[in-house]
Structure 1
Amino acid sequence: MNISNDSTAPIYIQIAEWIENEILAERLQEAGKVYSQYQLAELFNINPATAGKGLTILLENDIVYKKRGLGMFVQVGAKELILAKRRDEKLSKLAKEIVQEAKRLFVQDEELIELIKKAQREE
């Protein structure tokens, strides 16, 4: 479990990202039931309202859907939505930061590409 009070991200955001990671890792399946806010609160020792706020983010982003009286479930296509969102938001931001740092360090494009390829091989 990787929810941290030391993180700069609010806990409810961390909860939403944790559930997204569970979907990406296929521990939560499409059309499968998602943890309730009370289960999440117990799992992470947080307030149920905080957990509910994390679930609401996923609901608003069509990652999960609600079945009245039954709980929340993973939306069909959620994994693809998460991947696209993270590519657009996180990967683009990281790429910009890397390019800016490379420019400050006078790293040429070819060298930067080689560094990225090397990092991929080491994974």
Structure 2
Amino acid sequence: MEFNFNSTEPLYQQVAEQLEEAIFTGSFTEDKQIPSTTEISKQFHINPATVLKGMNLLVAKELIEKRRGIGMFVKVGAVATIEQQRKESFYADYILNVVTEAQKLGLTEEKLVQLIERGYQNGTN
């Protein structure tokens, strides 16, 4: 995990995002324990209350759960939840804008699909 202490984004939000990314990429797997607030706070020199606030964001999103006396665990289904949320964000943040711009340019749906296919062919992946 990496944190930008000079960012305008609050540290607790960065903690939540970093943990969510680690869950999504498989660094923290479903039904397994994640590092404690104390471990994260000591390792990255962050106030434990800040780390806990970030973790609580993920509890609210139902990605992790508190197990009393044991710690925090990644919920089963968390990866699918994150993937669905990211797909919805992708649609709202990118697709709607692309379609709006394509319509302004007078591009048909077929032409837009051709451009997307061209992008995939010329992409690095």
Q: TM-score if structure 2 supplies the norm length?
A: 0.78
- SS at structure 2 position matched to 1:72: strand
Matching of residue 85 in structure 1 with residue 85 in structure 2:
yes
| Superposition map of 1:97-116 within 5 A | 97-103=97-103, 106=105, 108=107, 109-116=109-116
Alignment deviations for residues 21-74 of structure 1 (CA, whole Å, 9 cap, x no partner) = 111111111110012122222333322211111100111111111111111000
CA distance in 2, matches of 1:115, 1:72: 45
* Percentage identity across paired residues of the two chains: 33
Give the residue type in structure 1 aligned to 2:34. V
Identify unmatched segments of 5+ residues in structure 2: none
Q: CA deviation at 1:6?
A: 5.2
* Equivalence map 1:12-91=2 (5 Å): 12-91=12-91
- Change in Cα spacing, 1:7 to 1:102, as seen in structure 2 (3 Å) is farther
- The structure-2 alpha-carbon separation of the partners of 1:99 and 1:44, relative to structure 1 and needing over 3 Å to count, comes to farther
Superposed CA RMSD in Å reads 2.3
Unaligned runs of 5+ in 1: none
- Pair 1:72–1:2, CA change in 2 (3 A): same
TM-superposition CA deviations, 1:84-120 (whole Å, max 9, x none):
112123442222233344455x262444333433443
What amino acid is aligned across from residue 86 of structure 2 in structure 1? R
1:32–1:120 CA distance, 2 compared to 1 (3 A): farther
Give the whole-Å Cα distance in 2 for the aligned partners of 1:94 and 1:47: 35
Normalising to structure 1: TM-score of the pair? Answer: 0.79
Larger CA Rg, structure 1 vs 2: 2
